[in-house]
Amino acid sequence: MEKQKTIRNKFSLQGKGLHTGEEARLEFLPGPVNTGIVFIKQDSNPPVLIKGDSYSLASLEKFPRRTSIGSGDNYIQTVEHLMASLSILGIDNIQINIWGSEIPGLDGSAKEFVDQIKKAEIATQEAVKDIFAPKSSIWLEEGDASVAVLPSDKFRISYLLDYGQSSIGSGFVDIVLNGSEKEDFYQARTFCLQNEVDGLLKMGLGKGADYKNTLVVSEKGVVNNKLRVSEEFTKHKALDLVGDLYLAGPLKAHIVAIKSGHSLNIKLLEKIRRHKEKAKSAGVASVASYIPGEGELDAEEIMKILPHRYPFLLVDRIIDLEKGKRAVGIKNVTINEHFFQGHFPGKPVMPGVLLVEAMAQVGGVLMLACPEHSGKLAYFMAAEKVKFRKTVLPGDQLILEVKTLKIRSRTGKVAGTVKVNDKVVAEAELMFSLI
């Protein structure tokens, strides 16, 4: 299991924004586990916290040709190069204090961010990294641009650039990211066509751009500068894509992009967000990277492992837990259970399907309590050999026992029984997919 990372030492950076031309200062601090990328606008009164995630995305109509985050009157513009550096180095948790409205453009790439983070040293944390690995494809297109997210066991970017008959021309890069700056694409600088410059300035953009931090391309080639790395134009578009996608958090997927830019990237982020929400709502998920001890677990500890809450949490207590082997839970059935109102109200009987669900919840605790599965999703995939032997009535205490038949890295199978007064009332074999 991959562990979360932060920085060991704080550091600062400052410079002008590429579009606003305004000076800004950044202070980078280590972040606690499970806090994510957190920006704090220190020049607001009081300071405003803005999460570096897809829920904070700002409209491209408000801030064209760059990726910005915020809400209300508080925004941070042009976050893509900084976010790309955090993605490349695998930084999960960090606090970034900012004085200003736009991330400094520096040399127009992610190079200085990467260099400074490395100098600050990367620290591995105890919590498990929350990686989204889609099981099905996601596809979007906009005009002649398109992007696809394909299932993969790696984070890979395949990007095709095509600027037609201009000096930029076309290019292709295929990059596998592995939490290091091994690839040189993080050094690729932003660029624009020379005939776009006046139009951008009239739009109020590019006020902080110059020939050093922006590759200006005329019909004859790059003006007053030269390329730093091979396929620099294509690699910078891939860099922007990596930075934009990190607002969705760590990914394991193959991204295939054709002429994709910020507009399509942001639409993709919104689709990934919906995909993640749907996936998490369908699974038995560990809501935090909580690793319990063995023995007994009270309701509060169970709720640190399972996302279920009243009225659908069907386990009151775990009375015995042997990680990876066996778990025993109890459920006290009372006349006040919500399901008795509509299920044989004249003679209350606990629905059999809820007995299976109660066994599945104990099975979820058994699997997700193991350190190697902390933070995963446990999808309840199938039930076999289901038998209901006796009815369960108000006043009964359920003894829910599950035993491991097999638990692998991606699948799990348990045998469960439900007893009342030492008599079996239900049993089943339950299968899970661990993601």
Confidence of residue 364 (pLDDT cuts 50, 70, 90): confident
Domain boundaries in the chain? 3-282, 284-434
Q: What is the 8-class DSSP label of residue 102?
A: B
Tokens of 316: 């009151």
User: Tell me, what's the pLDDT at 285?
Assistant: 47
Confidence of residue 342 (pLDDT cuts 50, 70, 90): confident
Tokens of 216: 């200006």
Please state, as a whole number, how many other Cβ atoms lie within 10 Å of the Cβ of residue 73.
7
The answer to whether residue 291 scores a pLDDT higher than 80 is: no
The answer to whether residue 283 scores a pLDDT higher than 60 is: no
CB 434 within 8 A of CB 411: yes
Given the DSSP bridges, would you call strands 397-407 and 317-322 parallel, antiparallel or unpaired? unpaired
Q: Which residues pair with 88 in a beta bridge?
A: none
Q: Please give the Cα distance from 76 to 114 (Å, whole number).
A: 20
Task: Give domain 3-282's CATH superfamily.
Answer: lpxc deacetylase, domain 1 (3.30.230.20)
Query: Average pLDDT, whole number, for the chain?
Result: 89
On whether the 284-434 domain is CATH 1.10.3720.10, my answer is no
The answer to whether residue 288 scores a pLDDT higher than 60 is: no
User: Tell me, what's the pLDDT at 286?
Assistant: 47
pLDDT average, residue stretch 403-417: 86
The residues annotated as belonging to the active site are 262, 343
pTM score of the predicted model? 0.67
Do the domains at 3-282 and 284-434 have one common CATH topology?
A: no
pLDDT tens for residues 207-256?
999 999 999 999 888 999 999 999 999 999 999 999 999 999 999 999 99
The answer to whether residue 87 scores a pLDDT higher than 90 is: yes
pLDDT tens for residues 14-35?
999 999 999 999 999 999 998 9
